[in-house]
Amino acid sequence: MDWIEVSLSVDGEAAEAVAELLQRYGHQGVAVEQEGIPPDLWDDGEAEAPRRLTVRAYIRADERAEAARLELETALGHLNMLYPMPTPVYKIIQESDWAEAWKAHYHPVRIGRRLLVRPPWAAAPAREGDIEIVLDPGMAFGTGTHPTTQLCLEALEDRLPPGARVLDLGCGSGILAIAAARLGAASVLALDIDPIAVEIAGANIAQNGVADTITVQQGSLDSLITSSRRFDLIVVNILAKVIIAMCDQHLGQVVRPGGLALFSGIIEDQTDDVEAALRKTGLQPTARRQQSDWVLVESVRPQP
Amino acid sequence: MAKKIKAIVTLQIQAGKATPAPPIGPALAQHGINLMAFCKEYNARTTNRMGEVIPAEITVFSDGSFKFILKSPPTAFLIKKAAGIDKGSSNPNTQKIGRLTRKQVREIAEIKLKDTNALDIEGAMRQIEGTAQQMGVEIVD
């Protein structure tokens, strides 16, 4: 069974009426996608209301499809008298096992010298000495495919001292905490403010058999500053402006004197600002790593 | 984590009945979203509101991970419910099929205000009236 995708590109004002109309013919509802997402849009709550939207519905390509198309076009013609309507675009979509099709986006990824990140369904030939991380992509950032995550994994492989006490602040899927545990950390605390991320990280940690080493909790920097816990290495893969804000909240204090701190999620031209903020919180930047326009800053808390 | 946004998709679907079939399957699979994870979570969060259309706004990040929030029911759904009709007019210009009072428009605007780009309740009411007009629903005092 094939499907016919009907789509119309409309402004926000017409989207509701068009969605209502398509809902009458579409299978189980409609999808409305924002057009023209800017290349530098971040998940920081500053998105503007969308100007244009694509409304899509899916009709079974059977003997009733042509009648549905005619009815739809007639109704759009009437709507056009009240508000200008674009011409609908039709596309044949082949029936697919969509529950499985999305998996084609994920493949095993080799990172650094020994790390191999793979989704549960994709086997990869292991080499001697490989450290394998199995990760089910889902509702938490950190699938191993993004440069910011890859930079952290490489830095952990190079810099993590054996037996270290590690903090993963903003753990997302838990990928960095898992890597730290597999690379020889004695203990890892993985924190995220998002309860869904905490739940997913917990499942990924269990799947990788490192639950004995990693504690995953919902929490933020505030809860650590007031405790006496200090870490040999912290890894923070968030965003430049969040890192800078954390520096104002004494982020450097959670690193023991002589300990290391890795910061990622930084665009190249934000790096100087992040390094200035790190110095103010008592951390000394020591090196940068870069992949495309993403930068990771390595730093140390100097001995008194 | 450094969450760069790749796409924002809103699905207008029946509460508690998400499946990988269209529109969810083709709309989300192209972005590499774990469909079963979405369907399971959506159904769990909406199962106590069966019979309603509860939109889910899904934000897709650059690495294929995602989050979603539930939005208020679509304006058209609220208009149909308030006017007591099953669907909008197929010829809204000449065939009026229902009526809403300004009080009902205000009630819908209050529900929708947080999800629209209207600056105030009057702005949201104007948007509701526009959608009602496009559905063949008259506004009466």
Is residue A127 pLDDT above 90, yes or no?
Answer: no
pLDDT confidence band for A48 (50 / 70 / 90): low
Residue scoring higher pLDDT (A100 or A287): A287
- Taking an 8 Å cut-off on Cβ atoms, the answer to whether A101 and B88 are in contact is no
Spans of all domains in chain A: 3-104, 141-300
Chain A residue with the nearest C-alpha to that of B119: A49
B9, B63, B92: residue with CB nearest A141: B63
Indicate the fold that domain A141-300 takes in CATH: Rossmann fold (3.40.50)
Is residue A301 pLDDT above 70, yes or no?
Answer: yes
For an interface test with B, the pick among A1, A18, A20 (most B C-beta atoms closer than 10 Å) comes out as A20
What's the ipTM?
A: 0.84
Q: Which of A146-160, A178-192, B51-65 has the lowest mean pLDDT?
A: B51-65
Contact A183, A214 (CB under 8 A): no
CATH of domain A3-104: 3.30.70.120
pLDDT at site A125: 82
Is residue A247 pLDDT above 90, yes or no?
Answer: yes
- Taking an 8 Å cut-off on Cβ atoms, the answer to whether A43 and B5 are in contact is yes
What integer best gives the mean pLDDT of chain A?
91
Is residue A263 pLDDT above 70, yes or no?
Answer: yes
Is residue A40 pLDDT above 80, yes or no?
Answer: no
Is residue A166 pLDDT above 90, yes or no?
Answer: yes
